[in-house]
Structure 1
């Protein structure tokens, strides 16, 4: 088995955080810890009588089954296949023997990459490596397990490869010890350890012995391509159980003596329960009890339908303090934000003032409405609470924070609360909030028996934490040669990411979280606004706003708005300069060849006609965290409806671990982007959305979606996340296409004439 030096990744530079320390012992298993930590952490995995804990990411059963431990929440994006594939590839496992298990809450699974994106501030940026180290330490010590923003693969790729390599070495050492040969002479292929000659042994036979051996100072990685699993379209591990119905989502959990609950909360904002009709609810067959809290009331019954009916009859009344949220209130707040003193320049390059002084500039204003999550699975949690502790079954993208919130609500220590993380039926960021778990736990304590709480779709829509509404004022000067000489973006928007953190980490009520961050300019609110083009002078200003609508973590977050603003405006500038839109972009991408390649590929695949009038073609390009994409669409108007005939995407996201899953994520992002462009937004009035039925949301259906083509550009770069990459591109591409069809520039989302 060949040796390869361990390469230093980008995240390893400076503090050398990823230096792997190995300690071992048959009792505790192999400990994985990192060099910069002041302490080591042992895996807190449960092991059956025939299982051996090899490291924090791997258990091996005596039968030879490979059990890969995954800390990321599976929401349909395929993470419970891709991460095990990385480990199994490096181990040399037979894919047919690989299983997956959700990770318990542990510092070993902290997502410091997302923590750095989320928690970086002016101070941490000023401190450089020390600031990043501080965030990493906070994330680790807090066991900050997070799923989102396409960070799963970039964050854990190396850890799973190292875990597989470490296990392979230990297993080879154990087998070689039995055979009396140097361990370097053995290898693992398709789940069998061999000496390169005649002797073979199953992995499970020596798993128990392997953990007693030591690892070499440098982990050798597998060489060659024979028998490799990486890069193959392997069967997804979650597909069989989802097909035969044995896959457990939150609503599938059943416990002895369990009852069911539905909940009602007040209008959006600072709402408290004022009264209800107890006697009317008691007439429902199967009804058991009303559980009342200051801000919500739940009905408990022998089945969910009875519980929800009892709530209807109880007709709870809430008192709303403050101004009710409404679409007019949101619009007024965004407009007023531009004149507030809290606006701040967050990004700048060059000097705009002399460029704009006395020049003729193009100025346009854009607006985006808040967009709902509308995941297929409404919030749901099952809880069992006793005097000894609590158990919670729920899908959550932040299990450590959810557990802590539940413990605080019950007045228990965090060690007394066990949270079983489940897969989510979609999420798009909705499962970052944990309020359904807290409610389920409090109801279960009140009932002294297990309770499953499921929100109705109406409750899900009313209490959703949508994407941020935003307004942008764009201005630019185009030189005689068609190049952009100056670019200014002023964005009025609340910061949904800051609000989310205040809720899930600091325990703030939604309306309090919104108010607490209302006057703070934040880079997270304008993420994606920094242009990828070679513009010598540009700036991005953020004007924070309190729109009265609590907001949340969503797919692509602020990039959803930013790309619509920037790529629509780029198209306007191209037409102003009388330059074909693709060429206009390409001339500014000399220093960004990967994005330029995506643009030319999408144009070639789609038969780009130059954006001429009547073509119905539009395009947009963007990059996020080392991943690049361009989208071209063909769209037209059929009466007052938008018809999207084709969507073509070209993506460079590094060397994919599982190409088909990457393709699935890209296609999912394109459809999500179409929904964002044409629907998923609702008007608000008097503290409530004015519609809540999915059929009235103008969401795209299969019949509304034309041909989708995806080209993944071959790359030797490290694999990146693509979950957020293409969704922001679709709205701008459609708007640009409709301009060529109608001659009218659409500058607001959702677009008019929805499917």
Structure 2
């Protein structure tokens, strides 16, 4: 247990505690449970006599291609044949912890705790997380080390048979090779597992025969195409029943006061009604009966506290801007610079729903005093802990089977449905599959946070930006995530007892990539009635909108061409400048002149850079019509270029939906949207022509899952301003 006193005694920088922790024993082992005829090599791979290689993947696959890119890293270092590679979900173990994702998510709830202390704690806590475009950045090095270790052991086994030095052996396409002699990995695996590793592992050098950089076929694609891939809804257990649930309005604290239980029980197929203080569920022998049963319940809730209301939400953001903010970044004396002729503009971004194809779901089975869970989760350890707390058992009594996720965009970090399924399984003593209806998924979403920005800048006589100020009102999402996902974590509780620091999550991407003589970024915390959570693109989706739209306004005010105006302030960042010039060249940039309908925007995040050129006009009904999007991307070393393109394209489509769709409007805790159709998501006919150009780069691999989102909306806004002369300053476009 870490006490507040122990942290303070350890020193403000946390060095004493970090050193003490580093001295504790930290040897972690993991059993990959090899089948007969298989041999395990460390914590990451197994090799079978048949030559089949199975790689443990500690990240959730929800469409981003992690079941391909991570195995590709190891297979490349090993010298394996890609056709022999398979994957399995890694077990909960400190070796698979992702402190980089924890830092990304909880930067705000744990700002006061030194990063070295956080990292050590997340590793020891076996915190498996998939978020923040961190999979490759976090696991590339350990996977390369694992591949190198297995390669050395196989080479030693082959060398012993041939009577040569193992360093004279190499691997390629699943064989150990020495001159004209070749031995299959599968023939060597049993013997190789008994050799020792050298003090230093030699990594492969050179580009010949490497898998890294190749657009290898996705390992999860065939099963998804032929329907054999298993999602949570595909789980079938003996005596399985189905559940549908309804909860109170959004905001405040709702308590169930009345249901028509008799009406639900008259629905054919309904076998039970389970009431909870905050929700009620109908249990049936088929999913349709469960849905009809919960509708027949006609529940009534009593709510205490503020109900979600869109007008009130906007007023809360305005009120937050009227208070003193917390400075999160500064350069020079902004107060002295912002005098005289100052350009000002206000922008706002509404709440953003996840709208994942798979709504929150879980399959739970309580048997033999143990709980088994089949769940789509980006945080399996946190989901297990929440389920254990809900039914009052030890975490060791809960087994999690991570499933493929039908999209997520961050929604699968939360686990309300997992907790509910656990309670239902314990109550009815049968396997239960709970699936939220789309209405519940929207009503009780943990939305991407709304934000409002008050921007100010001063231009010199020759059009240079002398000072830049951004005052941003938005909820402290990092703190909210820490409070909701880490309710009993000792480090999170310690941080909550200390004075609140800056919320790094909420202000991610708020500091422009450009250089200014004076700069100030202020966060104005806004406490709204709706829960907020992680959404693809993070807070960068709002902060990039504020920055890139205002930069465009300043360029026009200075009489400058928008691309040259940007590049003039990016002399220190050649990678981002190259993205801009590449996107402009590929897109036929005409300078963004009046009537052109062209707009530019760029952004850097997670070690990667992107520039976007958009062409847009207002179409029928005043809704923006985007005809073309060109993106230039520098993500460093691309493990699998096709997957990078897929992720950027997917991010662009996601951003297009956020920019041109409909955000739920709340009144008295009830949204005006109940279906995906109500969200006015882009249809195939609405899709623009999309071009993604990958710029070759020798930089370390950066994140790409979120990269396609932030620059799209400002590029469209700048295009619409060029098309009509009227600049949209609110997302989504067309709503106030």
Measured against the shorter chain, the TM-score band is over 0.9
Between the aligned partners of 1:481 and 1:56, the Cα distance in structure 2 is 60
Report if aligned partners of 1:519, 1:545 keep a CA contact under 8 Å in 2.
no
Between the aligned partners of 1:118 and 1:553, the Cα distance in structure 2 is 7
Report if aligned partners of 2:56, 2:87 keep a CA contact under 8 Å in 1.
yes
2:424 match:
443
Q: Deviations over 1:71-95 (max 9, x none)?
A: 1000101000000000001101111
Tell me whether 1:678 sits opposite 2:622 in the alignment: no
Match of 1:398 among 379, 392, 417: 379
Q: 1:334 to 1:507 in 2, by over 3 A?
A: farther
The 5-angstrom pairing of residues 40-79 of structure 1 reads: 40-79=27-66
Match of 2:173 among 177, 190, 204: 190
Tell me whether 1:273 sits opposite 2:260 in the alignment: no
Match of 2:681 among 691, 699, 709: 699
Between the aligned partners of 2:239 and 2:108, the Cα distance in structure 1 is 49
Structure 1 residue 61 displacement after superposition: 1.4
Q: Deviations over 1:265-310 (max 9, x none)?
A: 1111211111100100011111110111111111110001101100
Tell me whether 1:229 sits opposite 2:216 in the alignment: no
2:529 match:
548
Q: Which moved more, 1:165-174 or 1:112-121?
A: 112-121
2:545 match:
564
DSSP-derived class of the 2:506 partner? helix
Report if aligned partners of 1:599, 1:630 keep a CA contact under 8 Å in 2.
yes
Structure 1 residue 482 displacement after superposition: 1.1
Match of 2:94 among 81, 97, 107: 107
Q: Deviations over 1:391-423 (max 9, x none)?
A: 100011111111111111121111111000111
Between the aligned partners of 1:232 and 1:56, the Cα distance in structure 2 is 25
DSSP-derived class of the 2:644 partner? helix
Report if aligned partners of 1:154, 1:719 keep a CA contact under 8 Å in 2.
yes
DSSP-derived class of the 2:628 partner? strand
2:285 match:
302
1:346 match:
328
Q: Deviations over 1:515-560 (max 9, x none)?
A: 9999875222111110100111001001101111111111121101
DSSP-derived class of the 1:524 partner? coil
1:255 match:
237
DSSP-derived class of the 1:579 partner? coil
Structure 1 residue 696 displacement after superposition: 2.1
Report if aligned partners of 2:452, 2:474 keep a CA contact under 8 Å in 1.
yes
2:157 match:
174
Q: Which moved more, 1:552-561 or 1:688-697?
A: 688-697
Report if aligned partners of 1:372, 1:680 keep a CA contact under 8 Å in 2.
no
Report if aligned partners of 1:641, 1:753 keep a CA contact under 8 Å in 2.
no
Q: Which moved more, 1:540-549 or 1:110-119?
A: 110-119
Q: Deviations over 1:669-701 (max 9, x none)?
A: 111111111115111111011122211212111
Tell me whether 1:605 sits opposite 2:592 in the alignment: no
1:19 match:
none
DSSP-derived class of the 2:467 partner? strand
Count, aligned residues: 711
Q: State TM-score, norm by structure 1.
A: 0.91
| Unmatched runs of 5 consecutive residues or more in structure 2 | 1-13, 16-20
Tell me whether 1:94 sits opposite 2:77 in the alignment: no
Match of 2:313 among 330, 355, 360: 330
Match of 2:366 among 385, 396, 419: 385
The 5-angstrom pairing of residues 357-506 of structure 1 reads: 357=339, 359-506=340-487
Q: Deviations over 1:372-392 (max 9, x none)?
A: 000011111111112421110
Report if aligned partners of 1:375, 1:427 keep a CA contact under 8 Å in 2.
yes
DSSP-derived class of the 1:320 partner? strand
Report if aligned partners of 1:669, 1:725 keep a CA contact under 8 Å in 2.
yes
Between the aligned partners of 1:438 and 1:47, the Cα distance in structure 2 is 32
Between the aligned partners of 2:291 and 2:64, the Cα distance in structure 1 is 32
Report if aligned partners of 2:107, 2:479 keep a CA contact under 8 Å in 1.
no
Report if aligned partners of 2:109, 2:482 keep a CA contact under 8 Å in 1.
no
Q: Deviations over 1:448-479 (max 9, x none)?
A: 11111111111111111110011100000011
Q: 1:535 to 1:360 in 2, by over 3 A?
A: same
Between the aligned partners of 2:498 and 2:729, the Cα distance in structure 1 is 27
2:8 match:
none
Q: State TM-score, norm by structure 2.
A: 0.94
DSSP-derived class of the 1:264 partner? strand
Tell me whether 1:716 sits opposite 2:703 in the alignment: no
DSSP-derived class of the 1:162 partner? helix
Between the aligned partners of 1:518 and 1:726, the Cα distance in structure 2 is 35
Q: 1:494 to 1:575 in 2, by over 3 A?
A: same
1:30 match:
none
Q: Which moved more, 1:45-54 or 1:257-266?
A: 45-54
Structure 1 residue 193 displacement after superposition: 1.5
Q: 1:115 to 1:345 in 2, by over 3 A?
A: same
DSSP-derived class of the 1:523 partner? coil
| Unmatched runs of 5 consecutive residues or more in structure 1 | 1-13, 16-33
Structure 1 residue 649 displacement after superposition: 0.2
Between the aligned partners of 1:43 and 1:516, the Cα distance in structure 2 is 35
Between the aligned partners of 2:307 and 2:111, the Cα distance in structure 1 is 37
Structure 1 residue 706 displacement after superposition: 1.6
Q: Deviations over 1:17-41 (max 9, x none)?
A: xxxxxxxxxxxxxxxxx98773110
Structure 1 residue 52 displacement after superposition: 1.4
Report if aligned partners of 1:386, 1:448 keep a CA contact under 8 Å in 2.
yes
2:144 match:
161
Structure 1 residue 643 displacement after superposition: 1.1
Between the aligned partners of 2:110 and 2:500, the Cα distance in structure 1 is 18
1:116 match:
103
Between the aligned partners of 2:657 and 2:633, the Cα distance in structure 1 is 20
Report if aligned partners of 1:521, 1:543 keep a CA contact under 8 Å in 2.
no
Structure 1 residue 122 displacement after superposition: 10
Structure 1 residue 339 displacement after superposition: 2.6
DSSP-derived class of the 1:218 partner? coil
Q: Deviations over 1:545-591 (max 9, x none)?
A: 11111111111211011011110000110011010111110110101
Between the aligned partners of 2:286 and 2:364, the Cα distance in structure 1 is 15
Structure 1 residue 497 displacement after superposition: 2.7
The 5-angstrom pairing of residues 505-584 of structure 1 reads: 505-506=486-487, 521-584=502-565
Structure 1 residue 235 displacement after superposition: 1.0
1:633 match:
614
Q: Deviations over 1:640-677 (max 9, x none)?
A: 12110100000000110100000000100111111111
1:214 match:
196
Match of 2:294 among 311, 314, 319: 311
Structure 1 residue 507 displacement after superposition: 6.4
Q: 1:680 to 1:520 in 2, by over 3 A?
A: farther
Report if aligned partners of 2:108, 2:501 keep a CA contact under 8 Å in 1.
no
Match of 1:289 among 272, 276, 282: 272
Q: Deviations over 1:694-729 (max 9, x none)?
A: 112121111111210111001011111111112011
Between the aligned partners of 2:42 and 2:566, the Cα distance in structure 1 is 48
Q: 1:517 to 1:650 in 2, by over 3 A?
A: farther
